[in-house]
């Protein structure tokens, strides 16, 4: 088992060197390094006994047939693309760990009654185009014409790139499977947050992927001389935005599980001796329960109205993103939690604040996710790190999960 975990560490290291940029890890949608990454992972898939193909969107699919012909298929996967100057675990862990798990089962002579597909999605991070999840959307048959119209920095569209990839031909693929032929989708991913480290646990089971709303807010007051305008006569847009920032923090702090963030702000005119006349900023609000998020947004809207009235400033809202929460499958999650408990002694359920391929795949089949502790919760950074010991725990959990699922699907259904 230790050998299998060491093998996983070596594979993560090796794939982490496959990059578009020298000296750092950057692997974007259908770039030359993505082609090399697919070739490398395909080789590992074949060594584990999988039959390999690429779909029209460049996702890598390794398939292992089950004992019984026509048996249902369990999907396991994540994405092979990365952000710029990325770490080597975000994405590849969820592709390589199942390959190593299947290799280990093969070595032990275990044959599963169901089929397995290991998926390496070609795009999840939304780096090259302002559109994320192209890989999983392609696999799930959810690519829409609007997804194909986005352009990269050089003015090349998603459609152009896919047509080149398909040697001059591309049409959005249908779903790779009918839902009724699938058992579900399991994604192993680093946590990208500090909860597991805080609880001193190697792995945890995700209960839901948080829904999120994003806005652009603009506060309009009146610019004026910083020396000559008395405080009582000011309409300071930045003071209003600052009060709003403190207010949303208070709302999030008193609502369990809610996170609210202002991550970018511009102040105009932006001079040391001028009262800010206009402030624009982002707002990102997330919660695992859409009702809680919507209630919080009502409270946040009321807060903005009160601040604007009291300070005699106006404000404008623009919603830039809206995604509902995705609940993980209770059955698959309970099964995964049993394996976590068996291997780790206790299981912890946690919400994913970040989006994952599972969001899209949940439209095709029930999903479950296993989170692996990462040092200081750090991700999207070259220092991203999950320890070999934690990776071994995750590997043992997935092997145990597959064996349990095999046992339960062999039992005759009543
Ligand atoms: Zn990821």
E-strand stretches of 228-313? 259-261, 265-268, 274-275, 278-287
356 Cα to the center of ligand 1, angstroms:
6
**CATH number of 243's domain:** 3.30.70.360
Residue-level pLDDT at 414:
43
Q: Are residues 303 and 204 in the same domain?
A: no
E-strand stretches of 107-147? 115-121
CB 259 within 8 A of CB 292: no
100 Cα to the center of ligand 1, angstroms:
19
Count: domains in the chain: 2
pLDDT tens-digit profile of 129-157?
Answer: 867 799 999 999 999 998 898 888 899 99
SS3 81: coil
CB 249 within 8 A of CB 260: yes
90 Cα to the center of ligand 1, angstroms:
5
> Crossing angle of helices 330-344/388-410, nearest 10°?
130
41 Cα to the center of ligand 1, angstroms:
17
CB 27 within 8 A of CB 20: yes
**All residues at 6 or more sequence positions from 313 whose CB lies less than 8 Å from its CB, including other chains:** 219, 220, 221, 235, 236, 237, 240, 307
| Token pair in block for residue 85 | 């100057």
Q: Are residues 200 and 219 in the same domain?
A: no
**CATH number of 23's domain:** 3.40.630.10
| Domain enclosing residue 121, as ranges | 2-209+325-410
206 Cα to the center of ligand 1, angstroms:
14
282 Cα to the center of ligand 1, angstroms:
23
- Measured CA to CA, the distance from residue 281 to residue 244 in angstroms comes to 11
94 Cα to the center of ligand 1, angstroms:
9
Q: Are residues 33 and 140 in the same domain?
A: yes
**All residues at 6 or more sequence positions from 17 whose CB lies less than 8 Å from its CB, including other chains:** 25
Binned at pLDDT 50, 70 and 90, residue 393 comes out as: very high
224 Cα to the center of ligand 1, angstroms:
46
123 Cα to the center of ligand 1, angstroms:
10
Q: What mean pLDDT do residues 224-241 have?
A: 97
125 Cα to the center of ligand 1, angstroms:
7
Last residue of a domain, one of 261, 293, 323: 323
127 Cα to the center of ligand 1, angstroms:
12
Residue-level pLDDT at 327:
93
Percent of the chain at pLDDT > 70 equals 99
- Measured CA to CA, the distance from residue 270 to residue 186 in angstroms comes to 49
Last residue of a domain, one of 279, 300, 323: 323
Q: What mean pLDDT do residues 67-89 have?
A: 95
Q: Are residues 62 and 197 in the same domain?
A: yes
344 Cα to the center of ligand 1, angstroms:
24
Last residue of a domain, one of 323, 351, 376: 323
Phi/psi at 84 (5° precision): -75, 135
187 Cα to the center of ligand 1, angstroms:
10
181 Cα to the center of ligand 1, angstroms:
26
Out of 72-76, 95-99, 125-129, 132-136, which region has the weakest mean confidence (pLDDT)? 125-129
Q: Are residues 249 and 279 in the same domain?
A: yes
CB 254 within 8 A of CB 177: no
Q: Are residues 161 and 12 in the same domain?
A: yes
Residue-level pLDDT at 412:
62
Q: Are residues 129 and 140 in the same domain?
A: yes
Dihedral sign for Cα atoms in the order 74, 99, 6, 17: negative
For residue 260, how many other CB atoms are within 10 A of its CB? 23
Out of 1-5, 36-40, 182-186, 308-312, which region has the weakest mean confidence (pLDDT)? 1-5
Calculate the alpha carbon distances from 333 to 208, 330, 336, 367 in Å: 10, 5, 5, 8
Q: Are residues 46 and 158 in the same domain?
A: yes
> What are 375-380's contacts with CB under 8 Å, separation 24+?
375/197, 376/194, 376/197, 377/191, 377/192, 377/193, 377/194, 377/195, 377/197, 378/87, 379/87, 379/89, 379/90, 379/190, 379/192, 380/83, 380/86, 380/87, 380/90, 380/192
Could you tell me which residues are beta bridge partners of residue 205?
A: 349, 370
Residue 26 pLDDT > 80: yes
Q: Are residues 171 and 198 in the same domain?
A: yes
Q: Are residues 228 and 198 in the same domain?
A: no
Q: Are residues 313 and 335 in the same domain?
A: no
91 Cα to the center of ligand 1, angstroms:
4
CB 377 within 8 A of CB 80: no
354 Cα to the center of ligand 1, angstroms:
8
E-strand stretches of 38-156? 51-54, 60-64, 73-79, 115-121
Q: Are residues 63 and 51 in the same domain?
A: yes
Closest CA to 265 of 244, 251, 249: 244
pLDDT tens-digit profile of 339-363?
Answer: 999 999 999 999 999 989 999 999 9
């Amino acid at each position: 088992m230790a050998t299998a975990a060491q093998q996983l560490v070596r594979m993560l290291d090796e794939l982490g060197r496959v990059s578009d940029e020298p000296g750092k890890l950057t692997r974007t949608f259908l770039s030359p390094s993505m082609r090399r990454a697919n070739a490398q992972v395909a080789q590992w898939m074949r060594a584990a006994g999988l039959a390999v193909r690429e779909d029209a969107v460049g996702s890598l699919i390794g398939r292992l047939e089950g004992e019984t012909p026509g048996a249902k298929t369990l999907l396991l996967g994540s994405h092979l693309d990365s952000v710029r100057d990325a770490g080597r675990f975000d994405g590849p862990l969820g592709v390589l760990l199942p390959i190593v798990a299947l290799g280990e089962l093969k070595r032990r002579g275990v044959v599963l009654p169901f089929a397995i597909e290991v998926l390496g999605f070609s795009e999840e991070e939304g780096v090259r185009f302002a559109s994320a999840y192209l890989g999983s959307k392609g696999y799930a048959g959810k690519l829409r014409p609007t997804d194909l119209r986005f352009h990269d920095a050089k003015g090349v569209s998603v459609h152009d790139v896919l047509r080149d990839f398909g040697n001059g031909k591309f049409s959005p693929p249908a779903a790779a499977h009918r839902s009724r032929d699938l058992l579900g989708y399991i994604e192993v991913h680093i946590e990208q947050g500090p909860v597991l480290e805080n609880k001193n646990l190697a792995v945890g089971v995700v209960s839901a992927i948080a829904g999120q709303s994003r806005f652009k807010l603009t506060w309009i007051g009146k610019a004026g001389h910083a020396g000559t305008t008395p405080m009582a006569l000011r309409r300071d847009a930045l003071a209003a935005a600052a009060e709003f920032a403190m207010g949303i923090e208070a709302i999030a702090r008193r609502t369990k599980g809610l996170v609210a963030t202002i991550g970018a702000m511009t102040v105009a005119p932006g001079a040391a001796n001028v009262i800010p006349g206009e402030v624009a900023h982002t707002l990102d609000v997330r919660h695992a329960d859409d009702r809680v998020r919507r209630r919080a947004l009502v409270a946040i809207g009321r807060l903005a109205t009160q601040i604007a009235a009291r300070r005699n400033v106006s404000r404008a809202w623009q919603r830039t993103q809206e995604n509902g929460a995705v609940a993980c499958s209770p059955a698959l999650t309970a099964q995964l939690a049993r394996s976590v408990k068996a291997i780790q002694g206790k299981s912890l359920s946690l919400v994913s604040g970040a989006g994952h391929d599972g969001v899209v795949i949940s439209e095709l089949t029930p999903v479950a996710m296993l989170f692996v502790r990462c040092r200081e919760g750090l991700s999207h950074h070259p220092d991203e790190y999950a320890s070999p010991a934690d990776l071994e725990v995750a590997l043992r959990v997935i092997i145990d999960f597959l064996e349990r699922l095999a046992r339960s699907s062999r039992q005759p259904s009543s």
